[in-house]
Amino acid sequence: MILWELFLSFFRIGFFSFGGGYAMIPVIEYEVLNHGWLDPQQLTYAITIAGMLPGPIATNCAIYVGFTTHGILGALVATIAISLPSLIILLTITHCIANFYHHPILLTAIESLRPIITGLIVYAAVRLALNNQIIGTSDGVDITGFMIMVSTLIILVLTNLNPVFILLAAGGLGILMYY
């Protein structure tokens, strides 16, 4: 039963994978938290690990959630489920609707999706920051965390550094400050 629910949830997530990567976090969060597979803290761990490893962040999240829910079989089911929709959509586009690529309605729909994807990513960032008390909640704000977030963002915008180095540095900083 859990395997079937895992399959259905990640299949749904895969169908809304417009924008990929971080734009999928709100959809993953919605499904995972609603099913109670992970709590917000564990989800942050999952996203952190998924971001650090090679491969798409959404697939890595799927593997993580699948594994913590139902072991290796769960990881396999979640991976297949999240990959299937893109395979189906891509094959359909290649074989059936290639002639409609430049249709005004399709172009308008794609143009309208861009700001929504930006909105989804901003929402993902806000929720992650709220869940980890990096921005304002009634429980108080982690000022150090806020400072790390702002400085990391500035470094990313100004230097275009590889995110893996940023994550390694942030992990090291955490060890230095809190261990």
Interacting residues with another protein between 103 and 132 (CB under 8 A): 104-105, 108-126, 128-129, 132
Q: Which of 2, 3, 84, 166 binds another protein (CB under 8 A)?
A: 166
- Sequence-ordered list of residues with C-beta below 8 angstroms from that of 64, at least 6 positions apart, any chain: 46, 49, 50, 75
What is the closest distance, in whole angstroms, from the C-beta atom of residue 1 to another protein in the complex? 21
What is the closest distance, in whole angstroms, from the C-beta atom of residue 99 to another protein in the complex? 14
Q: Is 80 exposed, middle or buried (0-12, 13-18, 19+ CB in 10 A)?
A: middle
Element (H, E) at 4: helix 2-15
Do the Cβ atoms of 142 and 133 come closer than 8 Å? Answer: yes
Nearest partner of 56 among 67, 66, 64, judged by Cα: 64
Report helix angle 40-52 to 104-131, nearest 10: 120
Q: Does 25 bind another protein (CB under 8 A)?
A: yes
Q: Does 177 bind another protein (CB under 8 A)?
A: yes
Q: Does 140 bind another protein (CB under 8 A)?
A: no
Do the Cβ atoms of 55 and 150 come closer than 8 Å? Answer: no
Q: Does 171 bind another protein (CB under 8 A)?
A: yes
- CA distance linking residue 58 with residue 50, whole number of Å: 7
Give the x-and-dash track for 42-71 against another protein (CB under 8 A).
Answer: --xx-xxxxx-xxx---xx--xx--xx---
Q: Does 2 bind another protein (CB under 8 A)?
A: no
Q: Does 153 bind another protein (CB under 8 A)?
A: yes
119 vs 136 by CB, closer to another protein: 119
Q: Does 26 bind another protein (CB under 8 A)?
A: yes
